[in-house]
Amino acid sequence: MEISETYVALGKTDVMVSRIGLGAWAWGDRLFWSYGRGYDIEDVRAVFKLSLEEGINWVDTAESYGSGQSERLLGGFNADSYLPVVIATKFMPFPWRLGKGTFRKALRRSLDRLRLHSLDLYQIHWPLPPISVETWADALADAVQAKLVRAVGVSNYNEQQMRAANAVLAKRGVPLASNQVLFNLLDRKIERNGLLKACQELNIGLIAYSPISQGVLTGKYTPDRPIPGVRGRRYPRAYLARVQPLVQRMREIGQQHDGKTPAQVAINWLICKGVLPIPGAKNARQAQENAGALGWRLSDDEVADLELKADQV
Ligand SMILES: NC(=O)c1ccc[n+]([C@@H]2O[C@H](COP(=O)([O-])OP(=O)(O)OC[C@H]3O[C@@H](n4cnc5c(N)ncnc54)[C@H](OP(=O)(O)O)[C@@H]3O)[C@@H](O)[C@H]2O)c1
């Protein structure tokens, strides 16, 4: 992936994206993110508008987010917007989806909800059985051939699965644009298991989801103020206690960059790694803060320092 401060090509495709994208899982999702309690359609509309104005030109959603509600909201906002947006969504290979026919139907439904004739990026959400990653890769190539999709990606694929999908697509003359996986300061598995290296070798864009660890890396959640609801179960109090020294170091480093916040430092660390973070935001204030991760860089020493602290969590 070419590194520049403004827009980069997604893998070997001509889809140009800003160094940060916008995650839209929380739009319309009541179960995990509590949509409707504390934030609503007007808040996420403001997130969309503000992010675009700040130079973020792409949004990541999925057919499964809010059971289609995230795609519907995004489709509406996009229709009302004068700024061009790169739209990425995902197909979920539910175990009852047993062939390419189900794939085509799901793609049509996503296009309808998004009010589009073609997608910029269509991703396979998870490498779930029983259908092989090769079959879904072939379906992705069909979608490109039918001009329903500009570029194709995968998500949550390990190195072997990604290489298998890449090989099928290559035979059809279609580049694998991206692999979207969990990557943040608190979860650096892909640096150790070879996936990040394989993406660099094959020029496949790495999209980093949960870049601020679902709010944990903002520093606002502590053992005394734990995360509420279903999400809280993932991050128990003892874990939040262990994270605090890292957050403190992020604050100190942020201070050396005109008072950048821990969230901005967390996102910037990913930019320094050459990957594409897609932070989610529930309101304009959060979106504004996250956009402030653009336009500056941590030094190599700060990156190393943060990793040392993160290893101690
Ligand atoms: N492919 C996949 O399997 C997969 C999985 C997960 C996510 N994703 C994608 O990645 C995107 C981002 O990941 P994510 O939503 O899991 O986690 P995230 O971006 O790390 O965290 C988002 C949450 O953190 C809080 N937050 C965000 N900015 C903040 C700020 N500046 N200050 C304080 N709090 C802030 C908000 O929740 P609160 O205010 O409630 O704390 C927000 O909903 C998703 O929207 C989705 O597009 C993909």
Residue 227 alpha carbon, nearest atom of ligand 1: 41
20 ligand 1 Cβ < 6 A: no
Enter the tokens of residue 43: 């808040």
pLDDT tens across 185-240, in order?
Answer: 999 999 999 999 999 999 999 999 999 999 999 999 999 999 998 999 999 999 99
**Strands lying side by side in the sheet with 119-124:** 22-23, 58-60, 86-91, 119-124, 149-155, 176-182, 205-209, 276-277
219 ligand 1 Cβ < 6 A: no
Does 82 have pLDDT greater than 60?
Answer: yes
> Which of 282, 285, 289 is the pocket-test mutation for ligand 1 (most atoms within 8 Å of CB)?
282
Average pLDDT of the chain is: 96
pLDDT tens across 113-169, in order?
Answer: 999 999 999 999 999 999 999 999 999 999 999 999 999 999 999 999 999 999 999
Which residues touch 239 (CB under 8 Å, ≥6 apart)? none
280 ligand 1 Cβ < 6 A: yes
Count of C-beta atoms within a 10 Å radius of residue 199: 24
User: What structural domains does the chain harbor?
Assistant: 7-217+262-298 (3.20.20.100)
Catalytic positions, please? 65
Confidence band (pLDDT; 50, 70, 90) for 5?
low
Distance 267 CA to ligand 1 centre (A): 11
Distance 157 CA to ligand 1 centre (A): 20
pLDDT at 89: 99
49: helix, coil or strand? Answer: helix
Closest CA to 67 of 104, 39, 45, 92: 92
Distance 284 CA to ligand 1 centre (A): 14
Whether the model clears a pTM of 0.85, i.e. scores above it, the answer is yes
Distance 169 CA to ligand 1 centre (A): 30
pLDDT at 163: 98
Enter the tokens of residue 246: 């890292």
